[in-house]
Amino acid sequence: MTDSRFSPGTLAFDLDGPLLRIDGDWTLQHYAALRRQVLGVLARIDARSQVALDGLGALDTAGAGLLVELLGQERIAAIEAWAPGLPAERLALLQSVARALAQPEAEQPRQGYEFGDVLAHIGRTVQGVCRQQRMLLGFIGLTLQTLLLNLPRPRRWRLTPLVAHVEQTGLDAIPIVALLTFLVGAVVAFLGATVLADFGATIYTVSLVGFSFLREFGVLLAAILLAGRSASAFAAQIGSMKSNEEIDAIRTLGLSPIELLVLPRVLAMLIALPILTFVGMLSGIVGGAVVCVLALDISPTLFMTIMQRDIDLVHFLVGMGKAPVFAFVIAVIGCLEGFKVGGSAQSVGEHTTSSVVQSIFMVILLDAIAALFFMEMGW
């Protein structure tokens, strides 16, 4: 039912001349009828036609759009000159709608995948990697600053969470690290014996196993396992706290999330990874020794004699020296990805996966850089 307080707008040409009278209410309530009238009159109006707005009643955005379509952008732009009696609010509405309708249409996205799109995608990826590395460096600086501030203050040390994280990241991971390195040590011994047998040098399998595990495999396998096991746990734990607004509550209490959440995990990793590296070295060498004893007729005594004679202590120190660096990087990346989590479960999963990928990538990258450095130094 139409409200009697509103009269539908009308369009009419005077018989005496080309004068178009616009009367009544031009509102959304009468939009369908007004639209039909505009389409019927649109072909008859031109630049010479006179327009009278004296009888214009109520006006809203829908009606203003129809009037702009009927009269055109140029006539609306000069409306102050030919309709001086129009109220200021209706004048402003018509001009605002005209300006809005005059905006150029947005370009449609191109279909297909061109070479430029490939380059743009590569550029965005590189930019994202650079932004991530800057963020990582900043977070490392913040962590080191907090650590240095807390070292001379024993009352601020969080020993209980530190011991708990050492147990979770270190002690609980000993079985899987020992088993994996034992099996890899056996595989390395089998492969070395197979290749060296062609040269009659199977005895050097002992040196191969000892050198590879003391220098590379012990620390690398332990770090990769912790990257998948502990970095993901750190990201998921802190990410869940972030999504539940627990970290905001910590800041509200005047406490530092870096001190409460990051430092215990970083210190626990610094303690756990060297221990796991030592366990991995021993297990890998034992795995190689088992293969040498069973398949190559090398006695345990001869195996240990060759290890003591041919493997220098520097190889053990090189392997152990990498462990704290890898541990620090893994823990920091896991905590940083946790702080980057949004408010959804999907974000927790994405950043947990990202923490594992980034940690493993950084461990292998740092190991490659360290290998080149030690080679040039002759260590």
CA distances from 212 to 241, 250, 281, 328 (A): 41, 46, 9, 23
Mean pLDDT of 193-206: 85
Which whole number is the average pLDDT over 339-358? 86
Is the predicted pLDDT of residue 201 greater than 90, yes or no?
Answer: no
Q: How many whole angstroms separate alpha carbon 260 and alpha carbon 250?
A: 9
pLDDT digits (tens, 9 = 90+) for 137-183: 999 999 999 889 888 888 888 888 899 999 988 889 999 999 999 99
- pTM of the prediction? 0.68
Instruction: Tell me which fold the domain 10-101 belongs to.
Output: Transcription Regulator spoIIAA (3.30.750)
CA distance 36 to 28: 13
Share of the chain above pLDDT 90, in %: 28
How does strand 56-59 pair with strand 19-26? parallel
> pLDDT tens digit string along 241-253?
888 888 889 888 8
Kindly give the pairing relationship between strand 10-13 and strand 19-26: antiparallel
Q: In whole angstroms, what is the distance from residue 371 CA to residue 233 CA? A: 29
Domain residues of the chain, as ranges? 10-101, 126-377
CA-CA distance, 311 to 171, in Å (whole number)? 28
| Average pLDDT value for residue range 74-91 | 78
Highest mean pLDDT: which range of 36-45, 96-105, 187-196: 187-196
Q: Residue 168 and residue 269: Cα distance in Å, rounded?
A: 10
